[in-house]
Amino acid sequence: MSLLPVDTPTALSEFADSERRLAALSAAAETPAPSAESEEWRYSPIGDFSPEAYTAPTAAPSSADVARSDGQAAAISIVDGWIVSIDVDPGWEAKGLSISNADSASRSLDVPDPGQFDHLHLAYSPSTLDITVPGGLTVNEPIVITSHLTASDASVAAFPHVRVSTGADAEVTVVEHQTSEGAGLSVPLVELTADSASRLRHIVVQQLHRDTWQLGRLVSTAADQSTLLSGIAAFGGGYARVRTDTSLDGRGATGNLVAVYYGDESQIHDFRTFQHHRGPGTLSDLLFKGTVDDEAGSIYTGLIEIHEEGAGSNAHQTNRNVKLSEDAWAWSVPNLEIRNNDVRCSHASTVSPVDIDQQFYLQARGVPPTIADRLIVAGFFDEVLQRLPDPAVVELVRNLISAKLDGRAA
Amino acid sequence: MSELIISGLKATVGGSDILRGVDLTIRSGEVHAVMGPNGAGKSTLSHVLMGKPGYEVTGGSVTLDGADVLAMATWERAQAGLFLGMQYPTEVPGVSLEAMLRASFEASDRSPADVAERVLVEAGRIGFDEKFLTRPLNVDLSGGEKKRNETLQLGVLAPQIAILDELDSGLDVDALRMVAKRVKAATTEGDQPLGVLVITHYSRLLEELQPDHVHVLAKGQILQSGGPELATELEETGYAGYAEDTPADTGPVEFDPFGEPHGV
């Protein structure tokens, strides 16, 4: 089995919209495979990827439904890219919150800079999870998605597709938990669309198995006066990559982009971010903080692009990395492209070991070195955690950081 | 009764001799002031006593109640009863005062259960605004608040011997009085009164602390020792009599093996 045509076309013919899918698969086969030679994949181990190793399931796996917990507006379960259950609070449904398993027959390739994996996503993604919050509705309980990848004889490739849109002056928080059991490939696509003056928050907590690869995309657009928060907390995966494209289209739109990541052993976390300022007076604020231990690595490359129409924009980009071991590595490459002079931009990037003055301060008060480092590293992430909206998520992420630090001491 | 004995202590920074044989003995309940010109090695002495990285001890010994301090890691020195009140307390983002103090208590046989209560009591004694207690360590604190924070920690940790490096810098007159009063009280309170080694340029702090012994550190050595009257004398005459010929003591510096020889 393989993701690229050998025997896959017959499997795809089981879908109702097989013609569209087969065309996408042909396009994927004709598109050059990503290579670390290109800027977009620089420093990555993508050269080790082989599509022959994976199979995308063409039928929904049997899986138990996931029911809502108290305080959740909805709970959705996605397994191997298939939407297996949707449980929406009837109260929110009555107010107009709509969550559906949408037919993807009319899908087209509309992500920026499409590559081979985007064509593959179009070919294999079973359907679209469509979350729509109508204008004026504030959903003050989170919508929780669990996206799981099973392990089987053949390594599974999953292509989940999530679309969230908020109408004018609407508000919602969507939390997505990503997990897996073993070797596999996760290729999630998330599209966020915030209409005028709406508040859309999307947080991913990535806890994939170390043998799982992830090649994710997150594409968001923000209309005038809307506020977008896109958060990523990445702890798992072997090579786990997310490309984030944020387009601030309307006047005064705000994009807050945050990430925490913590790699150890041989994990590689890879983030490519694009902050497009297309509307006047737009604001973007990116804060990505990560830690690498053992032989782990991280890659951050980011571009702030102020377009001609982006007068009066403010754009900030900060990436900080703490190296906990000699062999760990981190690439941090921030970039600016400014085509309008009336803007304020800043970028900062650091890669450094734990600060020796901070270590000395804590140790001089009687704190043993391993505990001191633990406190300092946990504290390093605090600035990001303060920007996450959902207390349950903050607690979970804090615990996941602690678990990583515990593993270190062991 | 505790006793810190510094004997013939020599140390280098980046290849330069800064301490050239320091002898000092500090006992429980005593207040010693070390004064001296810029670059005399005062801060180096405090850093070396606490084991700050970047300094090399090239001779002498330091013992606390007979235990070899120089053989201990920094945190072990603190657990053994040494405290360093820093001239420039480091900002530690995301780490709370209480979390640090609890970790320190947990590493000893002391119960961390009453840390929060002790912090509140100490804050009250030195007029440290409670709103600062929840901030990350030293982050966004003024110079004076940082010094109060150091004094607060001294009160909570209750060490045997405290080395206070320029505790007075950044403090206004009222704050200085409260902080000095707290330190002074520690030297008389309880069954194990605090021994203090206070490092300062100025006699203002000493008026409050009333040291039993005043020492002049210059050229890396204790050149003169006396009673409180020595501080008064220095206030009038300055350090002109202890002319400096060593490089400025600004902490670890990059040593350039191809540069001009200096410091000898």
Confidence (pLDDT) at B245: 53
Pairing verdict, β A212-222 and A184-186: parallel
pLDDT tens, position by position, B3-21: 999 999 999 999 999 999 9
* Residue A363 with chain B: CB contacts under 8 Å: 73-75, 78
Which tokens in the block code for residue B36? 């001296």
Confidence (pLDDT) at B251: 55
Q: In whole angstroms, what is the distance from residue A157 CA to residue A121 CA?
A: 10
Give B235's pLDDT tier (boundaries 50, 70, 90): confident
Confidence (pLDDT) at B252: 56
A358 Cα to chain B: minimum distance (Å): 6
Q: Is-contact B90 A404, C-beta < 8 A? A: no
User: In the predicted model, is pLDDT for residue A360 greater than 50?
Assistant: yes
Q: Count of A–B CB contacts within 8 Å?
A: 86
Confidence (pLDDT) at A3: 86
Q: In whole angstroms, what is the distance from residue B44 CA to residue B72 CA?
A: 18
* Residue B122 with chain A: CB contacts under 8 Å: none
Give A162's pLDDT tier (boundaries 50, 70, 90): very high
Q: Which of A364, A372, A379 is closest, CB to CB, to B94?
A: A379
| Chain B residue at shortest CA distance from A375 | B95
User: In the predicted model, is pLDDT for residue A75 greater than 90?
Assistant: yes
* Residue A379 with chain B: CB contacts under 8 Å: 92-95, 136
User: In the predicted model, is pLDDT for residue A264 greater than 80?
Assistant: yes
Domain spans in chain A, listed from the N-terminal domain onward: 60-353
Give A363's pLDDT tier (boundaries 50, 70, 90): very high
Q: In whole angstroms, what is the distance from residue B26 CA to residue A304 CA?
A: 59
- B250 — phi, psi (to 5°)? -115, 25
C-alpha dihedral, A65 to A66 to A72 to A73, nearest 10°: -30
- The residue with tokens 């030297």 is B187
Average pLDDT of chain A is 95
Neighbouring-strand partners of residue A215: A241
Confidence (pLDDT) at A185: 96
A381 Cα to chain B: minimum distance (Å): 7
Whole-model pTM: value is 0.90
User: In the predicted model, is pLDDT for residue A393 greater than 90?
Assistant: yes
SS (H, E, C) A352-400: EECCHHHHHHHHHCCCCHHHHHHHHHHHHHHHHHCCCCCHHHHHHHHHH
* Residue A358 with chain B: CB contacts under 8 Å: 90-92, 95
Q: Is-contact A75 A69, C-beta < 8 A? A: yes
Q: Is-contact A173 A198, C-beta < 8 A? A: no
Confidence (pLDDT) at B38: 83
Average confidence (pLDDT) over A270-293: 98
Neighbouring-strand partners of residue A241: A215, A270
Contacts of residue B229, defined as CB under 8 A and 6 or more positions apart, other chains included, come to none
- A136 — phi, psi (to 5°)? 85, -10
pLDDT tens, position by position, B71-107: 999 999 999 999 999 999 999 999 999 999 999 999 9
pLDDT tens, position by position, B120-178: 999 999 989 888 898 999 999 998 899 999 999 999 999 999 999 988 888 888 888 99
Q: In whole angstroms, what is the distance from residue A51 CA to residue A45 CA?
A: 14
Q: What does chain B come to in residues?
A: 264
* Residue A367 with chain B: CB contacts under 8 Å: 75, 78, 100, 103-104, 107
Task: State the number of CA atoms in the 13 A half-sphere of A79 facing the CB.
Answer: 16
Q: In whole angstroms, what is the distance from residue A143 CA to residue A173 CA?
A: 6
Say yes or no for a CB contact (<8 Å) between A380 and B93: yes
> What stretch of H or E contains A330?
strand A329-338
Taking Cα atoms as reference points, which of A102, A67, A268 lies closest to residue A191? A102
| Chain B residue at shortest CA distance from A382 | B94
Confidence (pLDDT) at B101: 97
User: In the predicted model, is pLDDT for residue A212 greater than 80?
Assistant: yes
Q: Which of B78, B92, B137 is closest, CB to CB, to A366?
A: B78
Which tokens in the block code for residue A121? 């996503």
A68/A13: higher pLDDT: A68
Check CB contact of A370 with chain B, cutoff 8 Å: no
Taking Cα atoms as reference points, which of A164, A167, A251, A148 lies closest to residue A201? A164
User: In the predicted model, is pLDDT for residue B24 greater than 60?
Assistant: yes
Taking Cα atoms as reference points, which of B34, B64, B36 lies closest to residue B50? B64
Contacts of residue B132, defined as CB under 8 A and 6 or more positions apart, other chains included, come to B141, B145, B149
* Residue B106 with chain A: CB contacts under 8 Å: 371
Confidence (pLDDT) at B262: 47
Crossing angle, helix B115-126 and helix B97-107, to 10 degrees? 120
Average confidence (pLDDT) over A144-169: 93
Check CB contact of B164 with chain A, cutoff 8 Å: no
Domain spans in chain B, listed from the N-terminal domain onward: 3-242
Q: Is-contact A170 A136, C-beta < 8 A? A: yes
Check CB contact of B103 with chain A, cutoff 8 Å: yes
Give the largest CA-CA distance in chain B.
Answer: 55
| Chain A residue at shortest CA distance from B86 | A361
Average pLDDT of chain B is 90
Confidence (pLDDT) at B105: 97
In chain A, how many H helices and how many E strands? 7, 22
> What stretch of H or E contains A15?
none
A105 Cα to chain B: minimum distance (Å): 48
Taking Cα atoms as reference points, which of A145, A166, A170 lies closest to residue A81? A145
Q: Please give the single-letter amino acid code of residue A385.
A: L
Kindly state the percentage of chain B with pLDDT values over 90. Answer: 68
Q: In whole angstroms, what is the distance from residue B10 CA to residue B21 CA?
A: 5
Say yes or no for a CB contact (<8 Å) between A364 and B78: yes
User: In the predicted model, is pLDDT for residue B63 greater than 80?
Assistant: yes
Q: Using CB atoms and an 8 Å cut-off, which of residues 128-147 of chain B contact chain A?
A: 136-137
Q: In whole angstroms, what is the distance from residue A6 CA to residue A371 CA?
A: 54
Taking Cα atoms as reference points, which of B243, B186, B233, B210 lies closest to residue B29? B186
Q: Is-contact A321 A350, C-beta < 8 A? A: yes
State the ipTM, two decimals.
0.91
- The residue with tokens 């917990």 is A69
Say yes or no for a CB contact (<8 Å) between B100 and A358: no
Confidence (pLDDT) at B263: 40
In chain B, how many H helices and how many E strands? 8, 12
Kindly state the percentage of chain A with pLDDT values over 70. Answer: 99
Q: Please give the single-letter amino acid code of residue A401.
A: I
Confidence (pLDDT) at A73: 98
Check CB contact of A129 with chain B, cutoff 8 Å: no
Sign of the torsion angle spanned by Cα atoms B133, B138, B140, B142 = positive
3-class secondary structure, A245 = strand
Average confidence (pLDDT) over A37-63: 90
Check CB contact of A358 with chain B, cutoff 8 Å: yes
Lowest model confidence (mean pLDDT) among A42-56, A87-101, A133-147, A228-242: A42-56
Check CB contact of B156 with chain A, cutoff 8 Å: no
A374 Cα to chain B: minimum distance (Å): 10
Contacts of residue A153, defined as CB under 8 A and 6 or more positions apart, other chains included, come to none
Q: Is-contact B160 B128, C-beta < 8 A? A: no
| Chain A residue at shortest CA distance from B54 | A356
B177 Cα to chain A: minimum distance (Å): 24
Q: Please give the single-letter amino acid code of residue B9.
A: L
Q: Is-contact B246 B219, C-beta < 8 A? A: yes
Give B264's pLDDT tier (boundaries 50, 70, 90): very low
Crossing angle, helix B97-107 and helix B143-157, to 10 degrees? 30
Question: B3-242 belongs to which homologous superfamily?
Answer: P-loop containing nucleotide triphosphate hydrolases (3.40.50.300)
DSSP state of A46: G
Q: In whole angstroms, what is the distance from residue B218 CA to residue A36 CA?
A: 60
Q: Give Cα separations from A381 to A140, A208, A376, A385 (angstroms).
A: 26, 20, 9, 6
B243 Cα to chain A: minimum distance (Å): 32
Taking Cα atoms as reference points, which of A348, A349, A275, A350 lies closest to residue A315? A275
Give A183's pLDDT tier (boundaries 50, 70, 90): very high
Check CB contact of A39 with chain B, cutoff 8 Å: no
Neighbouring-strand partners of residue B34: B199, B215
